[in-house]
Structure 1
Amino acid sequence: MVQIEIDMVRRRAEHNEGQIFSLEELSLHQQDIERIEHIDRWCRELRILYLQNNLIPRMENLGRLKKLEYLNLALNNIEVIENLEGCESLQKLDLTVNFVGRLSSLESLKHNVHLRELFLVGNPCTQFQGYRQYVVASLPQLQRLDGTDISRSERIRSVQGLDEVRRQVLRQEREYEQRRAAEKEEASGVTVYIFSPSCSSKGKAESAEEQRETEFWHAPCLFTPESRVEAYRHLEDRRRGKAESVTTSMTLITTDGRVLNVNEPKLDFCLTEDEENNSVVLDLSVYRHMDTSLMDVDVQPTYARVSVKGKIFQVVLPAEVKPDSSTAQRSQTTGHLVLTMPRVGTARCSDFPVPRHFLQLFLEDPKAFPGQPRDIVSPACPGSSPGLLRPGGILKRCLSLLSCSSGCGGVAALLRAPPW
């Protein structure tokens, strides 16, 4: 259950320098809020309040908002119009796509003498015979209903035969409440499918999980407050399960401090050394049309990490670099992300040898990264096409990654004494 907390409200008061007591407009839409609380005590000066697309079942704790002019509660689970008598300045109320079936409850809005606009589109009560006539006659202060102006002639006609229309509305209300009681009883007896990962293999477990997901979303059900809450709970459990799975399975740095190569988004890349500018260059083939705001770059002295839509790409660098002097640029034509990382010192020498796992990686040695799945370690030169290559071909294609001056002996030593 998501609760309205003071930090949540303060974060949405940046335009008011974080001051919530003098706040006049507040947007808390799409927060999965299940109850209205605290707002009438914290934000007495509110004039506009957005609470659409949440899971709110009741209109409550709003009576102290004396200056509130516009209240948006569209796409929630509200069934009764209530507790707005204290909103003396209310001019516009939006209850689009809720579950209001007790149409007679809108008579409580007679106390809101400044109310000019009311939206009830998508509620069960709009299907009642005589719905519009009843609303227009019950709220003489209204000027627009469901986006349509109320003319003077319509208002006069609505009063005629109002007693008969009221009786029809009350009868339809009772029928609807009976149906709702049956729906609630049916919802309380719904069978909950619990998945237990007892399959003998990962593939079978994933298949069972996909089957359970398909069954959940394709199972016929009524559109009710209970079904909306159930769908939310299902999505929340699924998100939580994915987050826990990623947290437990992804290892970026081992317990002994060794940094691992990871390519979770499975992007092509090329890692080279620019001898003229004494720098290491990483060219990452990021998706061309992806927004740059979905990426995060972290350069450390011995490795570079890029987060692409939450998926981690990490590579160990062939030389120590300067993180503070590194730059990240995005190509406007190809979308590639290019990291330019100046090396520490003028050239790599024997006291900073090429990491031993680089040569193992190029020669397709499975011991290059023990304990890591093969699908996250590139078996060939970074940026090259996938496929099985002979060791000699790999070394030739990756020679630029292992280049150094003639005075360095790190690479030569590795070539003379293969790691196996």
Structure 2
Amino acid sequence: MGVASGYLGYAHRSAFDSFQGQGATMVRITENLIRQRAEHNNCEIFSLEEISLHQQEIERIEHIDKWCRDLKIVYLQNNLIPKIENVGRLKKLEYLNLALNNIECIENLEGCEFLQKLDLTVNFVGELTSVESLKLNVHLQELYLVGNPCCDFAGYRKFVIATLPQLKWLDGKEITRSEWIQALQEYPIVRQQVVEQQQTYILKRTKEKETVQKNLKDKENNKPDPGQKTENKKNNTTDEEYKGIKDIDEDEMNRKFWNEPTEYTPESRLEVHRHIEKMRKLKDKDKNQGKQKPQRIHITSEGRVLNVNEPKIDFLLTDDEENNQFILDLAVYRHMDTSLLDIDVQPTYVCVMVKGKVFQLVLPEEVKPDSSSAKRSQTTGHLLITMPKVQEVVKPKPKSTSRTQSATYSKSHTHVTRTTQHSEKLEVDPSKHRCVDLTNIVTERKSVAQGPIKFHQLKLPERNSDDFQDNPEVPALVD
């Protein structure tokens, strides 16, 4: 039995690896992908306890046992994973969901000491004796194997119940005590039946893999030269006619693929994925052909720097005249990791890369790049860039008097500030600066009347002056 099991594992890996190498791009688990799925944990991955990586077309489990040691729940359903690996270091793992994948053997879970639930629904587990590797998982209570080839074996349920006495639920059905006792009593006979059926299944799978490899070689040998095919079809045809022929060929190829009968195997499931990916790329290529956006220019050929805001984030540039510097406030996303920011301060402009997108702003004056600094708020996530100016301005500090202080205090409530454009009157001591007193040039007239207003009368010269001659013929001037 051990030899047969080992042969199955080797045959599976060789056939599956050769199939993966047929012009396919493997989807990997990257740090960026994990951070995107860790938004509920402020994008921190070292303290992550739950992660969902379902429907990502992932073809291998990797890195999570090194980057996320505290994981308790992992969702990896509906991917293309052929093997359980790189999860043995997750000591705190309690629930692992690998439903709808290409797994054929249960392995590498001995290190998951606190594993309580394992879901392998609709996979390709045909090596039923591999459940014996779960004996060391003493906390395992629920196991799901429904939809796997091993479920068709006679005595399947009794074998699993007797092999894993710690189980309480199998395929969503509770294990009763009487069922467990009966499974233990019939275990030797049931195990022998399971081993025989398993060997038959191994031979069947070996033939399937050989057939898959043969078909792949035939396709490679009979594959026409793409350049020759294009040249022949374009002879004596216009571009529109050739485009129509190309569309017909793609539709015919798609129809032929789906109408061709095939076995439901890990290789056929992966082939379906490759075909869908290929057709999607062809449609995207035809759709975007001739409609590609011109590349954005950040600096013209003449050396003129342009303002660019590709991430479309809010910003505020403040001229701090008191400290002779510019302050740029960028409203960066709060939960975005700081490692995704790249800051470049130049004498005449500042450039910030936000998740690969360019934010560029031309400055009104030259600044000192070496003296510039950047910091980020832990509450809002905003990025604050301080850039000292090259041209330093020295301004005298005005002397503050009690009168100006009181005026500033009274006007502070109405947001009125004193500026340098308004001159202040200075008090001069007359004793130190003597000058002509111009206030008494004109004699001040004093009122002579009390009560009703009386006009001042001019005083006439006296009649008995020496030069006066009285002429009786002249009438009197005043009655």
2:451 matched residue in structure 1: none
Looking at structure 2, the residues matched to 252 and 74 of structure 1 have their Cα atoms a distance apart, in angstroms, of 41
2:145 matched residue in structure 1: 120
Match of 1:52 among 60, 66, 77: 77
**Superposition pairs of residues 303-314 of structure 1, within 5 angstroms:** none
Looking at structure 2, the residues matched to 254 and 26 of structure 1 have their Cα atoms a distance apart, in angstroms, of 37
SS of the counterpart of 2:105? coil
Looking at structure 1, the residues matched to 110 and 69 of structure 2 have their Cα atoms a distance apart, in angstroms, of 16
Looking at structure 1, the residues matched to 293 and 55 of structure 2 have their Cα atoms a distance apart, in angstroms, of 33
The yes-or-no answer on 1:226 pairing with 2:267 is yes
**Superposition pairs of residues 5-84 of structure 1, within 5 angstroms:** 5-84=30-109
Looking at structure 1, the residues matched to 288 and 140 of structure 2 have their Cα atoms a distance apart, in angstroms, of 51
**Superposition pairs of residues 243-392 of structure 1, within 5 angstroms:** 243-250=284-291
2:161 matched residue in structure 1: 136
Looking at structure 2, the residues matched to 37 and 15 of structure 1 have their Cα atoms a distance apart, in angstroms, of 22
Q: Deviations over 1:251-308 (max 9, x none)?
A: 67899xxxxxxxxxxxxxxxxxxxxxxxxxxxxxxxxxxxxxxxxxxxxxxxxxxxxx
1:66 corresponds to which letter in structure 2? Answer: K
Looking at structure 2, the residues matched to 253 and 113 of structure 1 have their Cα atoms a distance apart, in angstroms, of 61
1:213 matched residue in structure 2: 254
1:6 corresponds to which letter in structure 2? Answer: E
**Superposition pairs of residues 386-405 of structure 1, within 5 angstroms:** none
Q: Deviations over 1:234-267 (max 9, x none)?
A: 1112222222222223267899xxxxxxxxxxxx
2:246 corresponds to which letter in structure 1? Answer: A
**Superposition pairs of residues 175-186 of structure 1, within 5 angstroms:** 175-186=200-211
1:284 matched residue in structure 2: none
**Superposition pairs of residues 124-203 of structure 1, within 5 angstroms:** 124-190=149-215, 191-192=218-219, 196=226, 198=230, 199=233, 200=237, 201=241, 202-203=243-244
Looking at structure 2, the residues matched to 194 and 35 of structure 1 have their Cα atoms a distance apart, in angstroms, of 29
Q: Deviations over 1:24-74 (max 9, x none)?
A: 100000111111010000111101000001110100000000000000000
State the TM-score, normalized to the length of structure 1: 0.59
Deviation at 1:218, TM superposition (A): 1.0
Match of 2:125 among 93, 100, 104: 100
Looking at structure 2, the residues matched to 254 and 131 of structure 1 have their Cα atoms a distance apart, in angstroms, of 61
Looking at structure 2, the residues matched to 17 and 135 of structure 1 have their Cα atoms a distance apart, in angstroms, of 41
2:389 matched residue in structure 1: none
1:223 corresponds to which letter in structure 2? Answer: Y
Looking at structure 1, the residues matched to 197 and 295 of structure 2 have their Cα atoms a distance apart, in angstroms, of 67
2:446 matched residue in structure 1: none
Q: Which stretches in structure 1 are left out of the alignment for 5+ residues? A: 256-420
Q: Which stretches in structure 2 are left out of the alignment for 5+ residues? A: 1-25, 297-479
2:402 matched residue in structure 1: none
SS of the counterpart of 2:34? helix
State the TM-score, normalized to the length of structure 2: 0.52
1:54 corresponds to which letter in structure 2? Answer: N
Looking at structure 2, the residues matched to 42 and 251 of structure 1 have their Cα atoms a distance apart, in angstroms, of 38
2:282 matched residue in structure 1: 241
Q: Deviations over 1:84-109 (max 9, x none)?
A: 00000100000000000000000000
SS of the counterpart of 1:189? helix
Looking at structure 1, the residues matched to 80 and 295 of structure 2 have their Cα atoms a distance apart, in angstroms, of 42
1:293 matched residue in structure 2: none
Looking at structure 1, the residues matched to 191 and 67 of structure 2 have their Cα atoms a distance apart, in angstroms, of 40
SS of the counterpart of 2:140? coil
Q: Measured at CA, do residues 246 and 88 of structure 1 come closer, stay the same or move farther in structure 2, by a change above 3 Å?
A: same
Aligned pair count reads 255
Deviation at 1:205, TM superposition (A): 1.9
Looking at structure 2, the residues matched to 146 and 251 of structure 1 have their Cα atoms a distance apart, in angstroms, of 51
Instruction: Name segments (4+ residues, structure 1) moved above 3 Å.
Output: 191-200, 251-255
Structure with the greater alpha carbon radius of gyration: 2
Looking at structure 1, the residues matched to 56 and 49 of structure 2 have their Cα atoms a distance apart, in angstroms, of 20
SS of the counterpart of 1:26? strand
Looking at structure 1, the residues matched to 114 and 88 of structure 2 have their Cα atoms a distance apart, in angstroms, of 11
Please report the RMSD computed on the Cα atoms of aligned residues, expressed in angstroms: 1.8
Q: Measured at CA, do residues 221 and 138 of structure 1 come closer, stay the same or move farther in structure 2, by a change above 3 Å?
A: same
SS of the counterpart of 2:51? strand
Q: Deviations over 1:311-352 (max 9, x none)?
A: xxxxxxxxxxxxxxxxxxxxxxxxxxxxxxxxxxxxxxxxxx
Q: Measured at CA, do residues 249 and 116 of structure 1 come closer, stay the same or move farther in structure 2, by a change above 3 Å?
A: same
Q: Deviations over 1:371-414 (max 9, x none)?
A: xxxxxxxxxxxxxxxxxxxxxxxxxxxxxxxxxxxxxxxxxxxx
Looking at structure 2, the residues matched to 90 and 224 of structure 1 have their Cα atoms a distance apart, in angstroms, of 28
Looking at structure 2, the residues matched to 150 and 111 of structure 1 have their Cα atoms a distance apart, in angstroms, of 19
2:28 corresponds to which letter in structure 1? Answer: Q
Identical aligned residues as a percent: 56
SS of the counterpart of 1:249? coil
1:29 corresponds to which letter in structure 2? Answer: H
1:228 corresponds to which letter in structure 2? Answer: R
SS of the counterpart of 2:154? coil
